[in-house]
Every structure is written in structure tokens, then in C-alpha cells.
């Protein structure tokens, strides 16, 4: 299999390394969406971790397997073929560079809009043998994970007693929803691990700026989350479940009751890691503010009101590990 071209010494110096962790957490919430207490458990997980995994999610594992197979085929192409998809500005193929501000990682990825027309345009370059098959798989997969995200947001509304029940869901369901989809490949780099016993950082620590993220991976480990006390723990791989991240926007909308989870990914020394993530974002003009029904008497708003477009532009200007929300805190000087 063809993988990323070997990095130069200069490139490696920009990609951080770390000893691989065996500290797998056994406390990460696992929620069965078919159970009657799912809403209560989802809210508790969002408050305690900002992260959880779900089973009985309704997404076809056969569909997941087929789309992952397409990703494996694409990332196995020569570098010149992959480059033909076009740079991820914003949609396309990316390698090592994460964003425009100098962040680097041992990763290659395809970033796609959820707009079916734009998916179709990119499909020809991603899967020249059968672009219609790739387009169809992505479309079906996005339909399934969006439905899953809607269900989770309605469970959150139930658990927090938010009215109307669809107040969060409708932001992602809107036809102008600014949601995106990313297919990731973290290639192995056994030479480095053999030399130093360390792994390359695939994607450095960060929070997701959107409302919610729905992700899954193959059986290769690498994902870590930061607990509220700052401790980093490894998330055991589970290719049959979906992992749910609270995003910055949902933290704002709950006035800090939910915490946007800080997470990172390490590349495995010997095995490829593949993942796919749906990032649920609202329409650009949507106003992000605490939901009025959550405000208790005398409670202060922690954040200023802003539009998703304002926050997205601010986040795009930042570095990966920056606290993006600090500029939008109610007591922040300057900001938007």
C-alpha cells in the first residue's frame, strides 16, 4: 500500500512526537440509545466528559464497511493521484498541514461539504473507477449519521427539559446548515517508533467549534480525550460504536453546563488508523447564544452572542490548541 511520502527532517521537526500511552480509560460513558434512560445518561456524559460513545445507533455497519473500504483505496493511491482531488481550501485533499496557521500532523484527509452536488464533484477525482458508488456511499452515510445526530440532540433537549424539543436539531437539519464531513488516514511510521519508541502526533489537541461531532474509526487506537482535571486518557478503539463530541457552540448554548471536549490523535507506529467524522454546524447566520430556557434566576451569561459565521472566521484564524471561546466570553476585552 502506498502511504504518505516519508517526511523530511524539517517536516518531522514540525510534527510533535509522544510516547504511546497504554492508559486506556474504562470510565468513558457507553450509552444504549434504545434504553429509556438514554436522555438522562446523555446529559450526564455531556456534563462530565463532553464525550461518549453510543450503541444501537441505527447506522448500518455494512454501509460503514463499504465507505471505509473506499477510503482505504483512495489513501493507498500514489501521492500524485491523491493531489488531483485538489487542496482542502476548504474542500479537497490535505496532507500534514492542518489549517492555514502552521499546525502540522501525521495525517492525510479528505474534507467534504455535505452538499450532494459538491460531493458529486469531488467523487470523480476520489474514485475515478466508480465515482457514482463513492458519491452514493457518502450520501447514504451522511444521511444516517445526521439522523443519529438529530436523535442525540433531541435526547439532550429531553434531558435538559428544553422547549421546543427540536430547538437544537433544527440547526443541523436546516438546508443551509454549515456541516462538513472528513475522512482521515493516520499512516504508520515504524521507523520512528523503532528509533525513539515514540509515535507521531496525527492531530494535535483541540476542541471542535461546531455543535456536535459524530465520529467512528477502525480498530487502531490513537484517540485521546482530556478529562476535566486535565488528565489525558486513551479511548479504546471500537469500530462498532460511534463517538460523540460536544462542540464549542453547544458549550455556549448550555451556558457552560456542557464542556467542549479537548481531544487529540496519535498515529500508530505499525498500523494505519482510519476515521470518519461528521461535524454538525448551524447555518452561517445563526446566532449562537445560551438557550433562554436554561437560564436560572440571577444566572449570568458566560458568553456574548455571536453568529456561527463570526465564530468560524475567528476559529479559522487561530492555532489548533488555542482556547477559541476566550474571545467570546462575556467579560472578554475586545473580542468580536
Q: Give the pLDDT confidence of 75-98 residue by residue, as tens digits.
A: 999 999 999 999 998 999 999 999
CB 279 within 8 A of CB 182: yes
C-alpha cell of 227? 478529562
The whole-angstrom separation of Cα 160 and Cα 152 is 12
- Up-side HSE of residue 239: CA atoms within 13 Å toward CB? 13
- Report, in angstroms and rounded to the nearest whole number, the Rg of the chain calculated over CA atoms: 19
The whole-angstrom separation of Cα 119 and Cα 259 is 32
Q: Which of 146, 216, 273, 324 is catalytic?
A: 273
263 membership: H or E segment, kind and range: strand 263-266
Q: Which carries the bigger pLDDT value, residue 8 or residue 183? A: 183
- In the block, cell 471536549 appears at 261
DSSP state letters, 227-244: -TTS-EEEPPP-TTSEEE
The whole-angstrom separation of Cα 144 and Cα 134 is 15
Whether the per-residue pLDDT at 151 is higher than 50: the answer is: yes
C-alpha cell of 110? 479528505
Is 0.85 topped by the overall pTM?
Answer: yes
Q: Which of 199, 193, 182 is nearest to 267 (CA)?
A: 199
115: confidence class by pLDDT, cuts 50, 70, 90? very high
Buried/exposed code over 170-187 (b: 16+ C-beta within 10 A; e: otherwise): ebbeeeebbbbbbbbbbb
**Helix extents (H) in the chain:** 9-14, 38-48, 61-75, 79-83, 116-126, 131-160, 169-173, 190-196, 248-253, 308-317
Give the pLDDT confidence of 234-278 residue by residue, as tens digits.
Answer: 999 999 999 999 999 999 999 999 999 999 999 988 899 999 999
Whether the per-residue pLDDT at 4 is higher than 80: the answer is: no
Which of 25-39, 46-60, 179-193, 207-221 has the lowest average pLDDT? Answer: 179-193
35 membership: H or E segment, kind and range: none
Active site residue 273: yes
Please tell me the predicted confidence (pLDDT) of residue 21. Answer: 57
Cα-flanking dihedrals φ and ψ of residue 304, to 5°? -75, 155
Amino acid at each position: 500500500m502506498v502511504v504518505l511520502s516519508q517526511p523530511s527532517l524539517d517536516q518531522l521537526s514540525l510534527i510533535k512526537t509522544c510516547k504511546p500511552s497504554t492508559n486506556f480509560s474504562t470510565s468513558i460513558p457507553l450509552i444504549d440509545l434504545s434504553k429509556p434512560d438514554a436522555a438522562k445518561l446523555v446529559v450526564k456524559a455531556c456534563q462530565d466528559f463532553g464525550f461518549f460513545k453510543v450503541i444501537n445507533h441505527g447506522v448500518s455497519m455494512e454501509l460503514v464497511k463499504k465507505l471505509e473500504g473506499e477510503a482505504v483505496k483512495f489513501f493507498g493511491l500514489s501521492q500524485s493521484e491523491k493531489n488531483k482531488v485538489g487542496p482542502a481550501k476548504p474542500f479537497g485533499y490535505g496532507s500534514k498541514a492542518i489549517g492555514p496557521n502552521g499546525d502540522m500532523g501525521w495525517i492525510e484527509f479528505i474534507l467534504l461539504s455535505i452538499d450532494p452536488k459538491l460531493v458529486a464533484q469531488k467523487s470523480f477525482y476520489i474514485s475515478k473507477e466508480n465515482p457514482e458508488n463513492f458519491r452514493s456511499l457518502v450520501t447514504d452515510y451522511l444521511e444516517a449519521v445526521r439522523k443519529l445526530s438529530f436523535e442525540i440532540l433531541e435526547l439532550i433537549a429531553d434531558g435538559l427539559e428544553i422547549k421546543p424539543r427540536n430547538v437544537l436539531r433544527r440547526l443541523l437539519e436546516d438546508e443551509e446548515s454549515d456541516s462538513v464531513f472528513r475522512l482521515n488516514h493516520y499512516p504508520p511510521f515504524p521507523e520512528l517508533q523503532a528509533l525513539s519508541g515514540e509515535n507521531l502526533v496525527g492531530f494535535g489537541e483541540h476542541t471542535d467549534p461546531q455543535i456536535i461531532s459524530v465520529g467512528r474509526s477502525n480498530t487502531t487506537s490513537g484517540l485521546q480525550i482530556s478529562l476535566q482535571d486535565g488528565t489525558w486518557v486513551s479511548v479504546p478503539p471500537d469500530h462498532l460504536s460511534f463517538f460523540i463530541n460536544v462542540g464549542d457552540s453547544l458549550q455556549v448554548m448550555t451556558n457552560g453546563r456542557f464542556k467542549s471536549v479537548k481531544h487529540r490523535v496519535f498515529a500508530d507506529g505499525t498500523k494505519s488508523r482510519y476515521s470518519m467524522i461528521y461535524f454538525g454546524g448551524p447555518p452561517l447566520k445563526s446566532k449562537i447564544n445560551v438557550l433562554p430556557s436554561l437560564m436560572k434566576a440571577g444566572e449570568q451569561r458566560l458568553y456574548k452572542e455571536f453568529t456561527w459565521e463570526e465564530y468560524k472566521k475567528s476559529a479559522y484564524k487561530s492555532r489548533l490548541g488555542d482556547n477559541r471561546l476566550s474571545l467570546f466570553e462575556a467579560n472578554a476585552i475586545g473580542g468580536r
